Amino acid sequence: MLMLEDAMGRLISGALWGLGAGLVVTVTQGGGEGLRSVAKGIVKGYIGVADRVQATTAEARENLEDLAAEVRAERSGAEASAIEAR
């Protein structure tokens, strides 16, 4: 059932992207200069949001990698202490 839900989600997402791309092409080709500037503003906003999401994701990934490195270091230190105690 999960595979079906995932496939439907991808299908709907793809359809929405396709509709959005078609709308952008329609607006920029025959919509006049006013609609083109609106489309351009939307694209600028999208790019700005995408850049912020990418930066936030990179920072979160770096924090998780640092945390994982700390855990590995503590784990290897605990293993070394256990070996010395024997």
> What are the 10-residue block averages of pLDDT along the chain, 86 residues in total?
60 71 70 71 86 90 93 85 70
Separation between Cα atoms, residue 46 and residue 50, nearest integer Å:
6
In this predicted structure, what is the pLDDT of residue 35?
72
Both tokens assigned to 5: 């839900």
Separation between Cα atoms, residue 84 and residue 82, nearest integer Å:
5
Q: Where do runs of H (alpha helix) occur along 1-86?
A: 2-30, 32-85
